[in-house]
Amino acid sequence: MHPGPRSVLGTALPPGRMITSDEGDGDEQPLWLSDGPATAGLWARVHAEHAGSGLWPLLLAPLEPDDDGLFRPWGSGEVYPEDVSVPASHDPAALLAKWWAAYTAAGEGDALSEAERVAVTAPFGQDWPGLAPGREATADAGRLASACAEAFLADRPSARLGLVAAASGAEALAAAGWSGPLNYDHDTAKFSAVVRDWEHRFGVRVVGVGFATLHLSVAAPPTTAGEALRVAAEHFAFCPDNVWQSRRPHTLAAYAGRIVGAARWDFWWD
């Protein structure tokens, strides 16, 4: 990220440093990280300058508990942009269909039988329903994202500001070398491709990222049970733990009910 963020931003930044990936020869510095917690309004001010600066702000949360004080994975350099492909090289519809097929089919040693998996994803079962129709945003995506950033900070006051040279929040996930969904796929660009598509279809903005969590604002969420069920299918394919390990009952229909009109989508990979 050169030139440094201070030279391209009008917003005054707190003390911080460039983070070097702990893999390789030290040439990879995919993000800038503040030394201390982000302050109220900082994300919004930096986000407002994105078109001119090319820097996407991320509120970064550490692995909990942060007993060693390294602020993992960010402060410890556990970010690997060299292992990530290009988001534009992936078809989000094909990715979601492939993941859906994998997660609805029972394999040897699985805790859930095939019948139980089909029940979880009813009424679709193993049949991928296809992408949900997009919606026109009725809220200002930037303003909503700023409000979500403040709510995120209220929940996670230790979160720090990260800055990544990227065209959008989805691109920033790959450019930063984040590997949150590592237990499901090593290539973050695949997840970035889906989020990139959601940016267009649902007015999504990437606000916060944790060790294995992702937090998005949503300007055009589903407003009916039927719409939400189709979106929930995409969420399941993208992050099955959102359904498998969410509040009971662990079904797609129950999850869909919780995202009707929701202005924020949160994901967690076990």
- Sorted by sequence, the CB contacts under 8 Å of residue 110 that are 6+ apart come out as 117
Residue 191 has pLDDT above 70, yes or no: yes
Taking residues 230-256, report their average pLDDT: 93
> What's the confidence (pLDDT) of residue 111?
63
> What's the confidence (pLDDT) of residue 212?
97
| The token pair that represents 242 in the structure block | 């959102």
Least confident interval from 63-77, 196-210, 221-235: 63-77
Distance, CA of 174 to CA of 82 (rounded, Å)? 10
Residue 2 has pLDDT above 70, yes or no: no
Taking residues 226-244, report their average pLDDT: 97
> What's the confidence (pLDDT) of residue 3?
59
Q: Which of 58, 19, 32, 12 is nearest to 152 (CA)?
A: 58
Instruction: Say if strands 160-165 and 31-37 run parallel, antiparallel, or are unpaired.
Output: antiparallel
Residue 222 has pLDDT above 70, yes or no: yes
Average of per-residue pLDDT values in the chain = 93
> What's the confidence (pLDDT) of residue 1?
47
Instruction: Say if strands 204-209 and 55-60 run parallel, antiparallel, or are unpaired.
Output: parallel
Higher pLDDT, 146 or 111: 146
> What's the confidence (pLDDT) of residue 245?
86
Instruction: Say if strands 55-60 and 264-268 run parallel, antiparallel, or are unpaired.
Output: unpaired
At residue 16, φ and ψ (nearest 5 deg) are: -170, -175
Taking residues 68-75, report their average pLDDT: 93
> What's the confidence (pLDDT) of residue 243?
94
Higher pLDDT, 138 or 126: 126
Express as a percent the part of the chain with pLDDT over 90.
82
This prediction has a pTM of 0.94
Taking residues 212-226, report their average pLDDT: 97
Burial of residue 123 (CB within 10 Å: 0-12, 13-18, 19+) is exposed
